[in-house]
Amino acid sequence: MNREIIFRGKDKEGKWHYGNLMQKLDPTKKENLIVSCFIQDMALSSTEVSPTTVGQYIGVDDKDEDRIFEGDIIKKEETDSPEMVGIVSYLEREFTTLDNYFDMDDECILNYKTEIISIIGNIHD
């Protein structure tokens, strides 16, 4: 399965930028400490973004065809179960949710029925 690799991050004015992720490391540190992050768009223009806001597109869209990124708050809607909410995260080599309120039967989001998932926000807004 091929999927689009896209990142997003917020600049210091709070505007989202989408594209490739570039990280500048501190050469004086052995731990590869990230000094700054940049998002490079298709026009090869780079914008510095806050490293804490960077998230990767998980490869699937929600029911409204909006891309789902790490850090998004998603809601699962089904007629036979109550509404459930969770935060998208990358954990143990798969995208999942961070809390116990979003019962996905321990499934990866990539394997879930995205036609019943909608994005209701993200942890950075």
Give the pLDDT of residue 24.
Answer: 80
In 3D space, the residue among 18, 92, 24, 101 whose CA is nearest the CA of residue 55 turns out to be 18
Q: What is the pLDDT of residues 56-115, one digit of tens each?
A: 998 888 889 999 999 998 887 765 665 677 888 877 666 666 654 454 444 445 555 677
CB-based contacts of 41, cutoff 8 Å, min separation 6: 17, 18, 19, 47
Give the pLDDT of residue 69.
Answer: 93
Give the pLDDT of residue 72.
Answer: 92
Share of the chain above pLDDT 70, in %: 70
Q: 64: which strand partners?
A: none
The model carries a pTM of 0.78
H-helix or E-strand containing 9?
Answer: strand 7-10
Which domains are present in the chain? 7-53 (no CATH), 58-122 (2.30.30)
Q: How many CB atoms lie under 10 A from the CB of residue 43?
A: 7
